[in-house]
Amino acid sequence: MHMSPRFAPKTIAAAIFLLCQHYSAQAQTAPPDDKGPAAARSAEANKESASTAAVPQPTGPVQVVNVISERDTNRVDRQVFDIKTGAATAGASIGDVLNNVPSVNVDPNGTVRLRGSERVTVLVDGKPTAQLQGENRAAAINALPAENYESVQVINNPGAEFGNEAGGGPILNLISRRYTKPGGNGSVAANVGPAGRYNAFANGSYSAGYASVNGTLNVRRDGNDTQTEQLRERIDPATGIVSRLRQNVDRNAISDFIQAGVGGRYNFNERDTVSASVSVNQRGNDARQDERFTDFGTGQLPLTDYSTRRNVDGQARNYELVTGFERRFPTDGETFKVDLRHRPTTTSTTTLPSTRRW
């Protein structure tokens, strides 16, 4: 198209003006942060995020189904089961948790069995505790809170690490948490029987933060009354004559047992723990035994008739003081332990015999 030279400048200026107006209108219509397809995708994502945030999320505790699970460990002599924290373990006892360990069973009375055997030693951090010994153990198993422990070790063949604590049987080793919520528990029970027999025990524990303390008291009196009569006959092989000897035994025995102990533990940090415990055991045995011997010989009337009485008073007392230090290393299952034990024992027995002839 041919354009007259005198109209060209005006035409060019008009075209430039119209072009500027067109781009100005586009700038006012588009969003300020619009940068093409990427910006569109970002805006869409923001919409989805806002939609998700608008959905109300569930509040309150989440139900935990797993109470205990096996942990991979490099120790070949034991299995380690972690105790999960959450709603499932809130208010649960250590007995409830042990029932979830394979091959372990705890009945409602607190009796612990491993593969059907009751010959199981229960330790805490690799050490015996008075609260889990003797007749106290069943009640303590059903009372100790599970949330105070982080794992359970099942040791079927204890090594030299445990010395003679297990008595040759398997071990359930409870590993305490380094930090526990403030709280305590305890139990008391008593039984009364005939002939002055009775049994009573009490135990309790308290934990707060990095420290814990436990104690136990057990008192028991048992009686054993027996009466026996024996008639012995001896036949002379040459003459066939029979001689007779009669023995009557009347025995009365009373056994008193007192056991008390207290222990504590403190965690300096995530690795180092110190512990101490003291316990005393006292046993008394008072027995009276009456024996009467009657020798009839070969006749009907006694040739010899006499009785003996023996009174025995026995006392045994032993103390045990234990202090220990433990360090856990980052490698699973590796620990360094030092235990110092002092165990004096005193024993005394007094026997007063007497004889009476008829």
Tens of pLDDT, residues 81-104: 888 766 555 667 888 888 888 888
What are the structure tokens assigned to 257, written together? 């047992």
Confidence of residue 27 (pLDDT cuts 50, 70, 90): very low
> Does some domain include residue 353?
yes
> What's the pLDDT at 70?
61
Range 288-300 average pLDDT: 87
> Which CATH number characterizes residue 228's domain?
2.170.130.10
- Residue 344 clears pLDDT 60, i.e. is over it: yes
pTM of the model: 0.54
> Does some domain include residue 35?
no
Distance CA 116, CA 94 (A): 19
Distance CA 142, CA 48 (A): 51
> What's the pLDDT at 72?
53
> Does some domain include residue 41?
no
> Does some domain include residue 102?
yes
> What's the pLDDT at 226?
86
Strand partners for 242:
235
Q: How long is the chain?
A: 358
Range 205-218 average pLDDT: 85
Confidence of residue 32 (pLDDT cuts 50, 70, 90): very low
Range 32-57 average pLDDT: 44
Confidence of residue 50 (pLDDT cuts 50, 70, 90): very low
Q: Which value, in Å, is the radius of gyration of the alpha carbons in the chain?
A: 42
Question: For residue 343, which amino acid is it?
Answer: R
The answer to whether the CB of 339 falls within 8 A of the CB of 139 is no
> What's the pLDDT at 286?
85
Q: Domain count of the chain?
A: 1
User: Pick the residue with more confidence: 239 or 148?
Assistant: 239
Range 299-321 average pLDDT: 87
> Does some domain include residue 52?
no
- Residue 250 clears pLDDT 80, i.e. is over it: yes
Three-class SS string for the chain?
CCCCCCCHHHHHHHHHHHHHHHHHHHHHHCCCCCCCHHHHHHHHHHHHHHHHHHCCCCCCCCCCCCCEEEECCCCCCCEEEEECCCCCCCCCEHHHHHCCCCCEEECCCCCEEECCECCCEEEECCECCHHHCCCHHHHHHCCCEHHHEEEEEEECCCCHHHCCCCCCCCEEEEEECCCEEEEEEEEEEEEECCCCCEEEEEEEEEEEECEEEEEEEEEEEEEEEEEEEEEEEEECCCCCCEEEEEEEEEEEEEEEEEEEEEEEEEECCCCEEEEEEEEEEEEEEEEEEEEEEEEEECCCCCCEEEEEEEEEEEEEEEEEEEEEEEEECCCCCCEEEEEEEECCEEEEEEEEEEEEEC
Which residues constitute the domain of residue 122? 68-357
> Does some domain include residue 309?
yes
> Does some domain include residue 2?
no
The answer to whether the CB of 138 falls within 8 A of the CB of 122 is no
Confidence of residue 358 (pLDDT cuts 50, 70, 90): low
> Does some domain include residue 31?
no
The answer to whether the CB of 95 falls within 8 A of the CB of 110 is yes
User: Pick the residue with more confidence: 110 or 35?
Assistant: 110
- Residue 235 clears pLDDT 60, i.e. is over it: yes
